[in-house]
Amino acid sequence: MKQLLPLLFCLSAGLLAGCRADDVIICAPVTAAPTFANLRAVAPAVQKFIFNLAQAQSFRTRGGATVAFGPNAFALPNGSLATGQAELRVREIYSVADMILANMPTTAQSSRQMLISGGEFNIQVWQGSTRLSMALTVATSNGSNHLLLTSPVPTAGLDTTRMLLWKQLTSPLAGTPGDSSAWQPAITRNAGPGVQTPVPSVNGTYSVSFPLDSIGNWNIDQFWHFYQSNSSGNIGVVVPTSVGATATRVYFRPIGFNGLARCYAASTSTTRWNSLLPYGVDVVAVVLQERNGQFYYGTQRVTTTSNLVVTPTLQALSMADIVQRIRQL
């Protein structure tokens, strides 16, 4: 019975979010993860909606976003039109804490600069074990083969500049092994080469359309323009050497802004990590590490300066304690 309670809670929350009565929402139970590899289990759950492919659809998520598309809009991998029923899967992330839990930092791929986020989204459509994509030859209800996403503008921590749409590849780019988590600009094809897709904001809501292809992750983001006139450089984090360490994640959380900078290992020893940040800004270094099944967590708040290296003290904690501290950042 205790194992059923988280699932019943998720189902109730989905119904309260304003979805139609015939929508089926399946939530992963939000419980303390048993391993570091399963830390995403305490991040926002993937929401699942069953729908008829022949009908236009509009689904509202628990976070207040809406995903809409027209009828007969999806194709099988061989290009033929998908028919029958399918499943829409959506994960939405709006806060720094959830970015850490889901391991979804907001770092640009090309420059490794931190981005300020208005929301991260993973959107996929599946039919059984087959992943579908937008049917390129079929127009949706808004006149194009695109999916329409509207989402709430976060109430705090944004930059003052207009947001743009970014994408995250499902596999690493050439020359950047293991770095598929970094973000690339989503380009507007009909506006000319190299023109990034703008995301308008009206009455507290973003609205953007994009094709649903092999890319699953989308980010409403912009560079950290508030400190664009500041000099910048690599800020270092030293992590204790441990033979038993099996996984390490290092981030910088900017105080007062909705973003998360990924740190990259500066050597194969993975004891020194770097992140490109502007100088003179208030940030918190966050370190997560697993050693022989034991979890360690540490933070250190600093003001960035040239050649700064910080060494957060790590504590052995339960995963539940770590999750609680992350949510308090």
Tokens 């596999």 found at: 171
Is the predicted pLDDT of residue 29 greater than 90, yes or no?
Answer: no
User: How confident is the model over 242-260, as a mean pLDDT?
Assistant: 89
Return the minimum-mean-pLDDT range out of 210-219, 229-238, 299-308.
Answer: 210-219
CB-CB contact of 207 with 149 (8 Å):
yes
- What CA–CA distance (Å, rounded) separates 294 from 277? 31
Q: What is the pLDDT of residue 25?
A: 38
- Among 231, 251, 100, 225, CA closest to 163: 225
CB-CB contact of 291 with 245 (8 Å):
yes
Per-residue pLDDT tens over the stretch 159-193: 777 899 999 865 444 444 444 568 988 876 655 56
3-state SS class at 178: coil
Q: What is the pLDDT of residue 266?
A: 83
Is the predicted pLDDT of residue 247 greater than 90, yes or no?
Answer: no
* Token duo for residue 251: 């981030």
3-state SS class at 103: coil
- What CA–CA distance (Å, rounded) separates 144 from 73? 10
Tokens 């990034």 found at: 196
Q: What percent of the chain clears pLDDT 70, i.e. is strictly above it?
A: 78
- Among 320, 324, 325, 300, CA closest to 310: 300
Split at pLDDT 50, 70, 90, the class of 215 is confident
* Token duo for residue 294: 């034991």
Which of residues 3 and 281 earns the better pLDDT score?
Answer: 281
Q: What is the pLDDT of residue 160?
A: 72
Per-residue pLDDT tens over the stretch 114-157: 999 999 999 999 999 999 998 876 544 444 578 999 999 988 88
CB-CB contact of 49 with 25 (8 Å):
yes
Which of residues 30 and 156 earns the better pLDDT score?
Answer: 156
To 5 degrees, how large is the angle CA 263–CA 268–CA 272? Answer: 40
Q: What is the pLDDT of residue 32?
A: 39
User: How confident is the model over 206-229, as a mean pLDDT?
Assistant: 88
Alpha helices (H) in 47-147, listed in sequence order: 96-101
Is the predicted pLDDT of residue 76 greater than 70, yes or no?
Answer: yes
CB-CB contact of 114 with 227 (8 Å):
no
Q: What is the pLDDT of residue 294?
A: 86
CB-CB contact of 148 with 68 (8 Å):
yes
Q: What is the pLDDT of residue 2?
A: 41
pTM of the entire structure?
A: 0.83
Write the CA distances from 122 to 30, 91, 294, 296, integer angstroms.
Answer: 18, 5, 30, 28
3-state SS class at 205: strand
- What CA–CA distance (Å, rounded) separates 251 from 261? 5
For 229-327, the fitting CATH number among 3.30.70, 1.10.10, 2.40.128, 2.60.40 is 2.60.40
177 dihedral zone (left: phi>0; alpha: psi -120 to 50; beta): beta
* Token duo for residue 31: 């419980």
Across the chain, mean pLDDT equals: 82
Residue ranges covered by each domain of the chain: 4-223, 229-327
Is the predicted pLDDT of residue 214 greater than 90, yes or no?
Answer: no
- What CA–CA distance (Å, rounded) separates 10 from 284? 32
3-state helix, strand, coil in the chain (%, to 5): 10, 40, 45
Task: Indicate the residue type of 217.
Answer: N
For domain 4-223, the CATH architecture is Sandwich (2.60)
Is the predicted pLDDT of residue 94 greater than 60, yes or no?
Answer: yes
Write the CA distances from 247 to 36, 107, 237, integer angstroms.
Answer: 8, 20, 16
